[in-house]
C-alpha cells in the first residue's frame, strides 16, 4: 500500500519521538500490511505487505481431548516497509508471537491476527514470525454449506482447506496467490499415523508418542495443505521413479484396492496428456465414508471420503496439474481448476473405450439440465457469489464444455500443445482467466475464439452456438 516517507536525522527530539510511531536507522515510517488481498469472494483471505516463502509447523494432536498445540514459524519477505502485518487464524488460543526472535505485540479481530514487531520491517527484508498456539481446532462452514477446516473422524481428524479452512489449524496467509514450501512435524499417540503433503522425511517414537515429519519442497497453496491423523494403513510404492504414498482408513482397503491399483497407470496417462508431473511424490488418502462431504485435491495425495472410483481418482490427480501446480490467482478462477479436471474424466473415458468427449459434450448440451439444474445458471468465469464457486453445473460441467470448444476449434494436435504449454508456462505459479484466454489466442493466432469467450465462458444462459 502507498504511504508517506519522512526523513529525520535522529530520534533525539522528544517532539519527534512523540509524533512518529517508530524511528529506524534510515528514518523510514512503515505502514501496516493489508488484512486481506481483496479477493472478489473472500476479501479477508490472505494478507498484504509480505509474501510467504516457507512454513515450518511443529504440531501435537491428542484426538481423545481434541486438543492441538503447535508452533508455526513463517518465513516471509516484506513487500513494503511494515509497521504491522496480519496472519489468518480462526479460533485457537495464541500464547506468544515473536518476529526475528524478539517478542512482538499482537491482537486479534475475527480471523485476523495482527502482529506488531518490535522493530519495523524494511521492504525486501526476509523475516521469520513465530506463533505459539493451542486449543480445539474449529470446523468451518463454507458459504455453500459444506464443512472444512478441522474435521473430526472416528480415530482422529483431517484438515481440509478449500477455500479458507487451513486457518483453522495454522496461522498464515491463506489465499491461493501466496504459495510456499512446507515442513510439517506432527506428534500423535503411538499407534496412530499422521499423513501430510510431500515426502515423509522422519518418523520417531518416544514415550508413547510418534512424530511424523513431512516436507513439501515445491510451492503449495495453503488450501491444498492437509493433515490426516488416524488409524491409517500407510503403504509406499512407486509409479515409475515417483514415490507413491497411500493411506487408507480401516474398512476401506478392499473397496479402494481396484482404483488405487490403477494409480500408476493414471499417472502415466496424465503425464502423456498434460506434461511432466509437477511434484516429487504422489498418492492418495482414503478416509472413512463420513469423514467429509467431498473429495479434495490436496497436494501430492488427494483426500477421498471413502473409496473412490477410477473416474474420481482421475479427476483429483488431474488437479495436481490444474489447480495445484497452476493455481488460480483468485477464487473467481475456479473454473480453470474444475473445468480441466472434469475434462480429464472425459478424456479418460474416451481413451478407455467409453463415450467420446464429443458425445459427452453433446449429451450435456441437449439434456444436461436434466442432471445439473444449475448448468446454465451463470457462466463459468463469473460465479454469482462465494457460495457458488464450486457449483457442479457451471464450474465443472460447463467449464469442461469450454475446454472442449477450444479442442473443437484448434484440433487435437494444437489442443494438446496448448494444454502442455499452459502447464509448463505457469508451473508452480498462479494464473487467471485473462492469462488463459490470452495464452490460447497466442498459441492459435489464426483462430477466432471470440464466440467461445463471449458465449461459453462469460455469456449468460445456454449458448446458441454449440
Strand boundaries in 89-125, DSSP class E: 93-99, 102-103, 105-109, 112-116
Please give the pLDDT value at position 8: 30
**Separation between Cα atoms, residue 149 and residue 138, nearest integer Å:** 7
DSSP per-residue codes, 27-70:
-PPPEEPPSS---SS-TTSS-SSEEEEEEEEEEEEETTTTEEEE
Please give the pLDDT value at position 462: 97
Distances (CA, A) of 34 to 52, 98, 168, 171, 330: 14, 20, 20, 16, 16
HSE-CB of 123 using CA atoms within 13 angstroms: 13
Whether residue 402 contacts residue 452, with contact meaning beta carbons closer than 8 Å, is answered with yes
Strand boundaries in 180-270, DSSP class E: 180-189, 193-196, 199-206, 209-220, 227-230, 233-239, 242-248
How is residue 1 annotated by DSSP? Answer: -
Please give the pLDDT value at position 403: 98
Whether residue 156 contacts residue 169, with contact meaning beta carbons closer than 8 Å, is answered with no
Name the stretches of the chain with pLDDT < 70.
Answer: 1-28
**Separation between Cα atoms, residue 388 and residue 393, nearest integer Å:** 10
**Separation between Cα atoms, residue 173 and residue 35, nearest integer Å:** 10
Query: What number of residues does the chain have?
Result: 466
Please give the pLDDT value at position 132: 98
Of 168, 223, 145, 148, the residue nearest 387 (C-alpha): 145
Return the ∠ at Cα 356 (arms to 317 and 309), rounded to 5°.
Answer: 35
**Separation between Cα atoms, residue 360 and residue 81, nearest integer Å:** 53
How is residue 101 annotated by DSSP? Answer: T
Whether residue 335 contacts residue 375, with contact meaning beta carbons closer than 8 Å, is answered with no
Question: What are φ and ψ of residue 15, in 5° steps?
Answer: -60, -45
Distances (CA, A) of 288 to 63, 67, 232, 293: 16, 21, 10, 11
Of 225, 156, 229, the residue nearest 194 (C-alpha): 229
Report if pTM > 0.85.
yes
Please give the pLDDT value at position 234: 97
**Separation between Cα atoms, residue 425 and residue 80, nearest integer Å:** 28
CB-count exposure of residue 290 (10 Å: 0-12, 13-18, 19+): exposed
**Separation between Cα atoms, residue 215 and residue 135, nearest integer Å:** 24
Please give the pLDDT value at position 28: 53
Secondary structure of residue 269 in the 3-state scheme: helix
**Separation between Cα atoms, residue 50 and residue 173, nearest integer Å:** 9
What sign results for the dihedral spanned by CA atoms 159, 214, 125, 39?
A: negative
**Separation between Cα atoms, residue 197 and residue 247, nearest integer Å:** 12
HSE-CB of 51 using CA atoms within 13 angstroms: 13
Between strands 180-189 and 209-220, the pairing is antiparallel
pLDDT tens for 301-329 read: 999 999 999 999 999 999 999 999 999 99
Whether residue 53 contacts residue 75, with contact meaning beta carbons closer than 8 Å, is answered with yes
List the strands of the sheet with 193-196, edge to edge.
139-141, 147-152, 157-160, 227-230, 193-196
Please give the pLDDT value at position 26: 44
Of 50, 2, 64, the residue nearest 29 (C-alpha): 2
Question: What are φ and ψ of residue 418, in 5° steps?
Answer: -65, -50
**Separation between Cα atoms, residue 62 and residue 240, nearest integer Å:** 37
Amino acid at each position: 500500500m502507498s504511504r508517506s516517507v519522512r526523513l529525520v536525522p535522529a530520534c533525539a527530539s522528544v517532539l519527534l519521538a512523540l509524533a512518529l510511531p517508530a524511528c529506524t536507522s534510515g528514518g523510514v515510517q512503515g505502514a501496516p500490511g493489508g488484512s486481506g488481498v481483496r479477493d472478489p469472494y473472500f476479501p479477508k483471505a490472505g494478507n498484504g505487505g509480505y509474501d510467504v516463502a516457507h512454513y515450518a509447523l511443529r504440531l501435537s494432536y491428542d484426538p481423545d481431548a481434541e486438543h492441538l498445540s503447535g508452533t508455526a514459524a513463517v518465513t516471509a519477505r516484506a513487500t513494503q516497509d511494515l509497521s504491522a502485518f496480519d496472519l489468518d487464524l480462526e479460533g485457537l488460543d495464541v500464547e506468544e508471537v515473536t518476529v526475528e526472535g524478539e517478542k512482538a505485540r499482537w491482537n486479534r479481530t475475527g480471523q485476523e491476527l495482527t502482529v506488531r514487531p518490535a522493530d519495523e520491517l524494511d521492504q525486501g527484508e526476509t523475516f521469520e514470525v513465530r506463533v505459539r498456539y493451542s486449543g480445539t481446532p474449529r470446523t468451518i462452514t463454507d458459504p455453500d454449506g459444506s464443512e472444512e477446516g478441522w474435521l473430526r473422524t472416528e480415530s482422529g481428524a483431517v484438515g481440509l482447506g478449500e477455500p479458507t479452512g487451513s486457518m483453522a489449524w495454522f496461522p498464515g496467509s491463506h489465499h491461493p496467490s501466496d504459495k510456499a514450501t512446507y515442513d510439517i512435524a506432527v506428534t500423535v499417540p503411538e499407534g496412530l499415523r499422521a499423513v501430510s503433503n510431500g515426502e515423509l522425511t522422519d518418523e520417531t517414537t518416544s514415550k508413547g508418542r510418534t512424530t511424523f515429519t513431512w516436507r513439501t519442497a515445491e510451492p503449495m497453496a495453503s488450501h491444498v495443505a492437509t493433515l490426516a491423523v488416524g488409524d491409517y494403513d500407510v503403504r509406499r510404492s512407486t509409479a515409475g521413479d515417483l514415490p507413491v504414498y497411500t493411506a487408507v482408513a480401516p474398512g476401506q482397503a478392499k473397496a479402494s484396492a481396484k482404483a488405487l491399483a490403477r494409480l500408476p497407470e493414471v499417472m502415466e496417462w496424465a503425464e502423456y496428456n498434460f506434461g511432466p508431473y509437477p511434484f516429487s511424490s504422489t498418492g492418495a488418502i482414503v478416509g472413512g465414508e463420513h469423514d467429509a462431504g467431498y473429495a479434495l485435491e490436496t497436494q501430492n495425495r488427494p483426500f477421498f471420503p471413502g473409496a473412490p472410483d477410477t473416474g474420481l481418482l482421475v479427476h483429483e490427480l488431474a488437479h495436481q496439474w490444474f489447480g495445484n501446480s497452476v493455481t488460480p490467482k483468485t477464487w473467481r478462477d475456479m473454473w480453470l481448476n474444475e473445468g480441466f479436471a472434469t475434462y480429464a474424466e472425459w478424456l479418460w473415458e474416451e481413451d478407455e473405450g467409453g463415450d467420446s468427449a464429443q458425445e459427452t459434450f453433446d449429451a450435456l448440451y441437449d439434456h444436461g439440465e436434466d442432471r445439473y439444474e444449475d448448468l446454465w445458471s451463470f457462466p463459468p468465469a463469473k460465479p454469482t457469489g462465494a457460495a457458488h464457486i464450486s457449483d457442479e453445473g457451471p464450474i465443472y460441467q460447463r467449464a469442461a464444455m469450454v475446454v472442449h470448444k477450444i479442442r473443437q476449434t484448434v484440433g487435437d494436435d494444437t489442443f494438446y500443445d496448448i494444454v502442455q504449454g499452459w502447464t509448463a508456462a505457469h508451473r508452480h505459479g498462479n494464473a487467471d482467466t485473462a492469462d488463459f484466454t490470452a495464452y490460447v489466442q497466442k498459441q492459435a493466432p489464426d483462430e477466432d475464439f471470440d464466440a467461445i469467450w463471449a458465449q461459453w465462458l462469460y455469456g449468460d444462459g445456454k449458448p446458441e452456438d454449440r
